[in-house]
Amino acid sequence: MGKLTLYGIDGSPPVRSVLLTLKALGLDFEYKIVNLMEGEHLKPEFLKINPLHTVPALDDNGFYVTDSHAINSYLVSKYGKDDSLYPKDLQKKAIVDQRLHYDSSVVTTLARSILRPLLWENNSEIAQTKIDALDAVYKNLNLFLETGDYLAGNNLTIADFHIAAVLVGLVVFLEVDSTKYPKLADWLERVKELPYYEEANGAPGAQIVALIKSKNFTIV
């Protein structure tokens, strides 16, 4: 196996989803922090890796992959001892892909709409409509879990890693009500029990949680 290098920053949910995947696969890798505040993602050396200047970015012995969804499916497909995290069976894969697209088009889009004004524009007021949309996300995730212990069925997949990573920050704004969404609440605890969860998502995610709380936001 060639050298794997992940470029990212702990506060990023997409980066943490890749950390979860790398740890689940038991892969050795180098983790290089890209300081976005200092513009390291805009420097020529990083633009050679990812012209779109986003993190995460993966260097697999000179082959560059960007976008966390592409990175995670690539890692499992190339390095997985089996295909459980990203199935080859077309029907099972389609379900995982649907969850991944739901993450990118709905969950992560909503997270950005909440976090960008708060963290980058110092706008501490969050519209109630966004919190209502977050509640709808919880409802849908709980619905996905009707079919098994994990978001795409009975097996842990990279879809679980993506959602687990983004929810770290979102639950600060709206906790998961175990009475309304018991399956989602149980799933959160189940994922947290993974032996690599704390290192890959818990501890790194605590940084963004602290930053969010420091903004003293209000819901209007």
Helix %, strand %, coil % for the chain, to 5?
55, 10, 35
Residues with Cβ within 8 Å of residue 27, at least 6 apart in sequence? 1, 4, 75, 79
Helices (H), 48-103: 68-79, 90-102
Does residue 110 contact residue 102 with C-beta atoms inside 8 Å? Answer: no
> Any catalytic annotation for residue 214?
no
Q: Judge contact between 41 and 218, C-beta under 8 A.
A: no
Cβ atoms of residues 46 and 141 within 8 Å:
no
Q: Cβ distance 167 to 115 under 8 Å?
A: no
* Distance from C-alpha of 204 to C-alpha of 16, rounded to nearest angstrom: 8
96 touches 159 (CB < 8 A) = yes
User: Which residue among the candidates 12, 17, 68, 73 is catalytic per the annotation?
Assistant: 12
Active site residues: 12
